[in-house]
Amino acid sequence: DTAVSQTPKYLVTQMGNDKSIKCEQNLGHDTMYWYKQDSKKFLKIMFSYNNKELIINETVPNRFSPKSPDKAHLNLHINSLELGDSAVYFCASSQDAGEGYGYTFGSGTRLTVV
């Protein structure tokens, strides 16, 4: 099936640990994104990658680092996890960042830091 898939779906970890969330899209899209949805359901952009180049970084702590081995993948690595990092993280992709194409989202990764 064509889609944006992210793993794992749930992630429970202790403070201070390092973890990664993987994302893959098989839609042939040029741009991929990471969004964070907090407990108030507010969806905030974290990163986007266009042809393996980071084009935005919205004041996200440098403990978060996106890694894109190729156009179809954008993984999110988080160092030294904190309680406030608990949220749902969504990966998304689009044909082009600025031309008005709709985004396709993954089903989310619920991260709980204890």
Partner 1 sequence: SQKIEQNSEALNIQEGKTATLTCNYTNYSPAYLQWYRQDPGRGPVFLLLIRENEKEKRKERLKVTFDTTLKQSLFHITASQPADSATYLCALINQAGTALIFGKGTTLSVSS
Residue 26 contacts partner 1 per CB under 8 A: no
Question: 14 vs 41, which CB is nearer to partner 1?
Answer: 41
Residue 102 contacts partner 1 per CB under 8 A: yes
Give which of 21, 1, 2, 18 is closest to 10, Cα–Cα. 21
Say if CB 48 and CB 68 are below 8 A apart: no
Residue 10 contacts partner 1 per CB under 8 A: no
H or E stretch at 75: strand 73-78
Residue 49 contacts partner 1 per CB under 8 A: no
Say if CB 62 and CB 78 are below 8 A apart: no
Binding residue for partner 1 (CB under 8 A) from 18, 20, 28, 55? 55
Q: Rule CB under 8 A: which residues touch partner 1?
A: 4, 33, 35, 40-45, 48, 50, 55-56, 90, 92, 97-98, 100-108
